[in-house]
Structure 1
Amino acid sequence: MGTAAKFKVADFHCDALSKLQAEPDIDFNNDHRLDVTAERLAAGNVGLQVFAVYLSGTLGKPRFERILGQLELFRKRIICGEGLRWLRWKEETVVTSAPESAWAMLSLEGVDGLEGNLFYAELLFELGVRFLGITWNYANWAADGVLESRNGGFTEKGRQLIEWCNTSGMLLDVSHLSPAGFWELAERSTRPFIASHSNAAAVCGHPRNLSDEQIKAVIAMDGRIGLTFVPWFVRNGGGAKAEDLLKHIEHVCSLGGSRQLMFGSDFDGIDAWIEGLEHPGKYTELADLLLKHYPEDEVKGWLHGNAMRFLSTQLPSRVYL
C-alpha cells in the first residue's frame, strides 16, 4: 500500500440519500448509479462521509415526512451490519482515527422541509442530524439562498433558528446561503460555522463560491471550508482536472486558512465530474497529487485532521441528553 493510500479522508458533503430515495432499488454497496458506494468509500480510505438530506424539487413539495424518509434510508441502508458507524457526539471523535474505523454523519441541505417549525429541528437533532445547511440556492422560510436576486438575509423565524442552533449544539453550514445571510450569520452566531462544499471565488467566479472576505471570516472564527469537486465551481467554464483544485488550496492557504481547509465533494449531487475525481475511490489519487506539492502534515490535515479537530470541539457532548 502506497503512502497516500494510508491517509484517511473526511468528506463533508454527498447527496447519495436523495438518489436512494428517488430510486429505491439502488444498492448502496456497489451500484454504480451512485458515486458514493460502500466499496468506493473503502477504496478511497474515507474515514468519515457526511450524508446530506436534500429534498429535490423533482419529488414534490418539501415536507418533513420526506426528510424522515431519508433518515430511515440512512439508518437501514447506510448504517447497517459491520459497515459505517454513526458519528453524533464529541466523545466519539476520539476513536475515529483508528485505521479500521469508518464513520458517517447526517446533515440537512436547506431547511425548507422543516416547514418553519422549530420543533422539527429539535426532532432532527434527537434523530442524529448534526449540520443544518440553511438554504439551497433560493429563498425559504428562514433566509435567502445565493441565487435569490434580492440578496436578503434571515427572516425573524430564521433568526430564531440561529439562536436555537447555537444553544442546542446543531452546527450551521453556509454553502448556498446568500452573501447578506452569510454576514448576518457571522454577526449573530456565537459558534463557528462551516461552508461544507464551496470554493474560492477569486479563482473561479461562480456565485456559489466564497469571496476572500468570507473566507477570512470563516478562518477568523476557526470554522471550516470544504473544497468541492463541482467542475464549474473549480474552473471557469468547467472541464476541470484534479490539478485545478490546487489553485483553490493555494488561495485559501494564502489567506491563512491551511488549518481550516477540508473537502466536501458533492458526489451524487453532480452530473459531471472533475477528471480524475469521479468518485470517492479516487481520493487516494488526490492524496498522491497533494503529496507531490505539499508537506505530509498539511495534506493529512486537509484530508482528515482539520475536519476531525473541528468536530472534536464543536460537536455536542453526549451529556446533552
Structure 2
Amino acid sequence: MQIIDLHCDVLEKLTRLENVDFRNDSRLDANLNNLKAGNVKVQVFAIFIHPSVPQERKFLEAARQIEAFHTKVLSEPEMIHITEWNQINDLEDGQIGAVLSLEGCDCIGDDLEKLRVILDAGVKLVGLTWNYENEVAYGTLEDSSKGLKPFAKDVIDLLNERNIIIDVAHLNEKGFYDLLPLSKYILASHCNARTLCDHPRNLTDDQVKQLVNHGGRIHVVFYPPFIQKGEDHATIETLVKHVEHLSNLVGIENIGFGSDFDGIEPLFVEKLSNASEFPNLIQALLEKFTEDEVNLLAYSGLVNFVSTIEGRKM
C-alpha cells in the first residue's frame, strides 16, 4: 500500500551531518532506500531551523536546506519535485514525490519578502511557528491564551494568495482558533489526540473537530511522548488507538501520517523506527480497519484533499 508522509526532518540532517548520503545513509530514518522499502510514494521534507541558530543566520540556514533538497534529495533520479499537487497523479512506478514545507516562520523575521523567496523555491505547506514565539505567532510551548500577532495577517494573506496549506502542528491554542476563519487551506501535519495523550503538541477533540469543519485534516505523529503521556516508548498498537479515536471523531478520510522521522530519535515507536517499517503500521491498521479505509488514511485521503487546491506553476 502506498504511503504519503507529511513530515520528516531529513533536510536539517543533510546540512548538519558530515558526508551524509541521502540514498542509503543509516543516520537518516527517511533515506531513499528506506522510503522505497516502506512504499512511501510522497514524502514532505520540512525546512526546520533549530532555535539555537541566531536570528540573523536563520534565513541563510533555510536557504542551505533548500539547496540540500535540490543537490542531495532531487539529485536522486527516483525523486520528483512536486511543485503542483496534481503532479502526484503523474508519478510513475519507482518514483517518489518530494514536497517542501516550512516548519515555522522564524527564519523570515518580520520580512514578507523572505517568505516570498521561500515560497518561490516550491514550498507547499507553511507552519506559522515552531514551539516558541516568533514575529507571527506563539508556539505550543508558549502561553495558550496569546493569539496571532499583527504580522500574521500579512503572512496568512500571502499564503492564501499562493494557495499554500497552513500547518497548525506547532501553533498554540489561541493562535489555532484565531487562524481558523482566516485560512484558505489548513491541516495539522504531525499531531495526535490530546484526549489520549495530554501534551500541548497534541490537539483537543474540539480543535480536531473545528479543524475538519474548516476543511482541514490531522496527520498522526510517531513520537512516543506524543502517543503515551510521560513515556519514552510506545507500541504501534498504542499509536493505532489515536487513529481509532480520531476516526470516531472526524472520520478516517480526514486522518493521515506525519511521521516526524529524523526529528524524533532516539525515541521511536516499537517496530516503527524508520520509513522502511511503514508496512508494520499498515498491517496493524488492517486489523482494525478495512483495506479501503487504510488506503484513505495512508494515501488517497490526502490526495483527495489537495485535489481541491489549484495548482501553481513554480
TM-score bracket for this pair, using the shorter chain length: over 0.9
AA in 2 matched with 1:214? Q
- Tell me, in whole angstroms, the C-alpha distance in 1 between the residues paired with 2:108 and 2:291: 42
Range with greater deviation from structure 2 (35-44 or 213-222) = 213-222
How far the C-alpha of 1:159 sits from its partner, in A, is 1.4
Offset, 1:150: 5.6
Instruction: Give how far 1:109 is off.
Output: 0.5
Distance 1:256 1:90 in 2: 24
Per-residue deviation, residues 42-98 of structure 1 (Å, max 9, x unmatched): 0001001100000113444352111111000000000114121011113313224x4
The answer as to 2:90 corresponding to 1:90 is no
- Tell me the equivalent position of 1:3: none
How far apart, CA to CA, are the structure 1 residues paired with 2:45 and 2:79? 12
Q: Which residue of 2 aligns with 1:34?
A: 28
Q: Which amino acid aligns with 1:210?
A: L
Q: Equivalent of 1:249, from 224, 243, 256?
A: 243
Deviation at 1:256, TM superposition (A): 2.2
Counterpart contact for 2:144–2:173, Cα < 8 Å = no
Q: Which amino acid aligns with 1:287?
A: I
Distance (Å, rounded) in 2 between the aligned partners of 1:63 and 1:56? 9
Does the 8 A contact of 1:93 with 1:312 survive in 2?
no
Structure 1 residues 242 and 150: CA distance shift in structure 2, 3 A: closer
Is the partner of 1:63 in helix, strand or coil?
helix
Residue 276 in 1 paired to residue 275 in 2? no
Among all aligned residue pairs of Structure 1 and Structure 2, give the percentage whose two residues are the same amino acid. Answer: 35
Listed one character per residue, the Cα deviations across residues 230-289 of structure 1 (whole Å, up to 9, x for unaligned) are 100011122210110111111111112311100000111112101111000000111111
Q: 1:49 aligns with which of 37, 43, 46?
A: 43
Q: Residues 276 and 315 (structure 1 numbering): CA distance in 2 closer, same or farther, change over 3 Å? A: farther
Give the distance between the partners of 1:211 and 1:177, measured in 2 at CA.
Answer: 13
Query: In the alignment, what sits opposite 1:182?
Result: 176
The residue identity in structure 2 corresponding to 1:280 is A
Unaligned ranges ≥5, structure 1? 1-6
- State TM-score, norm by structure 2: 0.95
Aligned to 1:79: 74
* Deviation, structure 1 residue 312: 2.0
**Structure 2 CA distance for aligned equivalents of residues 175 and 37 of structure 1:** 23
Instruction: Please give the secondary structure, in 1, of the residue aligned with 2:246.
Output: helix
Query: In the TM superposition, what whole-angstrom CA distance separates every residue of 1:99-118 from its partner, at most 9, and x where no partner exists?
Result: 43311100011101012111
Query: Following TM superposition, by how much is the alpha carbon of 1:315 offset from its aligned partner in structure 2, in angstroms?
Result: 5.2
Q: Kindly state the Cα deviation for residue 290 of structure 1 after the two structures are TM-superposed.
A: 1.1
| C-alpha contact 1:144 1:151 (8 A) present in aligned 2 | no
Q: Which residue of 2 aligns with 1:286?
A: 281
Question: What is the aligned partner in structure 2 of residue 148 from structure 1?
Answer: 142
Which of 286, 295, 304 does residue 299 from structure 2 map onto? 304
Does 1:108 pair with 2:102?
Answer: yes
- Counterpart contact for 2:227–2:238, Cα < 8 Å: yes
Q: Is the 8 A contact 2:14 2:20 kept in 1?
A: yes
Quote the Cα distance in structure 2 between the aligned partners of 1:76 and 1:269.
21
- Count of residue correspondences: 311
Match of 1:205 in 2: 198
1:163 shift after superposition: 1.2
C-alpha RMSD of matched pairs (Å): 1.4
Moved over 4 A (4+): none
Where do 1:11-30 residues align within 5 Å? 11-30=5-24
CA distance in structure 1 between the aligned counterparts of 2:199 and 2:104, rounded to whole angstroms = 19
| Cα 1:307/1:118, change in 2 over 3 Å | same
**Are the aligned partners of 2:47 and 2:101 in contact in 1 as well (CA < 8 Å)?**
yes
2:133 pairs with 1:134: no
Aligned residue for 1:67? 62
